[in-house]
Structure formats: structure tokens, C-alpha cells
């Protein structure tokens, strides 16, 4: 029996998905909400040489273990606890330790390709797409990858041109047709966030969880 609500938030890298998720978290309370990231479910590449890992396409659906993610979501929504993987972006591999995540009334799942995956879409109570201008997304990604992931400017630009932009056009942008709500301006769109949280509260009430 389903005991929780799943909110899926998709959109381009740098579109503002995380900020939207954090705003929901703040408005509805940490005791009710857990945030999960699709990025944590990148496939473990520790079995191949590092030089080969760096050249992989991390924006293609095959880069993710969506089967494991879907299984974990199903377990969380049924009231179970999961061993959430932890991904190391500097080595492109999963860490040996995991993070214990217990069941919550609201699971907010954010990632670039969530709405491209039927098995994940089918579990979502609300499907959200963050629609942000590509140049803004690129600037945010450039800053993040340099400051948080130890990348240099040239490597970020190369990856963006070779895989990030083509995969956005092929998989991510078309997936917004599956969204229930499309939010321009990301987490700074306060009106959209308020509408979204009001709908979540309504779903909780319908489940008798108020």
C-alpha cells in the first residue's frame, strides 16, 4: 500500500531543480519531506580506467541505474527504509558507504531525466519540469562544476557542447510534455512554488495524513 507522495522535478542541468526542491522542503518541513537526487544513481564506473570514465556521456539515460532508483522509490513510498547510494563526482564512482533514508510522507525526487523514464513517471503524484533559459543553465553549470567538482573551464565547455546540449535536445526538453506543471525561472518563481506546495498539502489531506 502506498503511504507517501512522490514529486518528480525534472529539467536541464542548472535549471534550478534543487532550489525548487529545497523551497518545498522548507515550506512543508523536514519531518515530512526527503529530497532525493537522480545524480546519486549514476552507474558505478570504478571497474574501468579513470581516463575512460571521464569520457563517458553522463547525460544519456544509460548513465543512470534507473531500475535501482525506481525500486528504492517504491520501497520508500511503501513505508520502508533504503540504503541510498553516495556518488563521488571526482572519481565517477559510488562510495562504499551509503546513506540510510527512512520513509517520509513526501519524497521530492529531482534530476535531469526523470520524466523520460516511464517507470518513474508512473510512480509520481506530481510531475514538474523546470523551464530555464539554456544560457542561464550553462552559466550555473560552469560555476558549479568548477567550484564544487574540481573541473576546469575548457573541460566543462567541451562536455557541454559534446554531450550536455545534444542530450538536452534529444531527451530532456521533449520530456516536458509529460509534466503536470512547467515552472519558468526555477526556484525563484514564488507563485509557482506556492501553487505546488498547496497541491501537495491537498494530496496529503486526501491520504488522511493531515
156 domain-assigned: yes
pLDDT digits (tens, 9 = 90+) for 142-195: 999 899 888 899 989 999 999 999 999 999 999 999 999 999 977 788 899 999
Q: Which three cell numbers stand for residue 95?
A: 562510495
Q: Which three cell numbers stand for residue 148?
A: 564544487
149 domain-assigned: yes
- DSSP bridge partners of 93: 88
Owning domain of residue 134: 5-204
pTM for the predicted model, two decimal places: 0.92
pLDDT digits (tens, 9 = 90+) for 5-63: 999 999 999 999 999 999 999 999 878 899 999 999 999 998 999 888 888 899 999 99
H or E element: which one contains 116?
Answer: none
209 domain-assigned: no
Total domain count, the chain: 1
Q: Which three cell numbers stand for residue 140?
A: 550555473
Nearest to 132 by CA among 12, 1, 6: 12
What is the Cα–Cα distance from 33 to 28, expressed in whole angstroms? 7
Residue 61 DSSP SS3: helix
Contact 2, 121 (CB under 8 A): no
Crossing angle of helices 17-28 and 190-206, in 10° steps, is 50
pLDDT above 90 (res 100): yes
23 domain-assigned: yes
116 domain-assigned: yes
65 domain-assigned: yes
49 domain-assigned: yes
First vs last Cα of the chain: how many Å apart? Answer: 18
What is the Cα–Cα distance from 53 to 58, expressed in whole angstroms? 10
210 domain-assigned: no
Phi, psi angles (nearest 5°) of residue 160: -60, -45
CATH number at 81 reads 3.40.50.300
Amino acid at each position: 500500500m502506498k503511504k507517501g507522495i512522490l514529486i518528480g522535478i525534472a529539467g536541464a542541468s542548472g535549471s534550478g531543480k534543487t532550489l525548487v526542491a529545497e523551497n518545498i522542503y522548507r515550506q512543508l518541513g523536514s519531518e515530512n519531506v526527503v529530497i532525493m537526487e537522480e545524480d546519486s544513481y549514476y552507474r558505478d564506473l570504478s571497474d574501468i580506467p579513470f581516463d575512460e570514465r571521464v569520457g563517458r556521456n553522463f547525460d544519456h539515460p544509460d548513465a543512470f541505474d534507473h531500475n535501482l532508483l525506481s525500486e528504492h522509490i517504491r520501497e520508500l513510498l511503501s513505508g520502508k527504509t533504503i540504503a541510498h547510494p553516495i556518488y563521488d563526482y571526482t572519481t565517477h564512482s559510488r562510495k562504499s558507504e551509503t546513506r540510510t533514508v527512512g520513509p517520509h510522507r513526501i519524497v521530492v525526487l529531482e534530476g535531469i531525466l526523470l520524466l523520460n523514464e516511464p517507470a518513474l513517471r508512473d510512480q509520481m503524484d506530481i510531475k514538474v519540469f523546470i523551464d530555464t533559459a539554456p544560457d542561464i543553465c550553462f552559466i550555473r553549470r560552469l560555476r558549479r562544476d568548477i567550484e564544487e567538482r574540481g573541473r576546469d573551464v575548457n573541460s566543462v565547455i567541451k562536455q557541454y557542447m559534446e554531450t550536455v546540449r545534444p542530450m538536452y535536445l534529444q531527451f530532456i526538453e521533449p520530456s516536458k510534455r509529460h509534466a503536470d506543471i512547467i515552472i519558468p525561472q526555477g526556484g525563484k518563481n514564488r507563485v509557482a512554488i506556492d501553487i505546488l506546495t498547496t497541491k501537495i498539502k491537498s494530496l496529503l489531506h486526501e491520504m488522511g495524513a493531515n
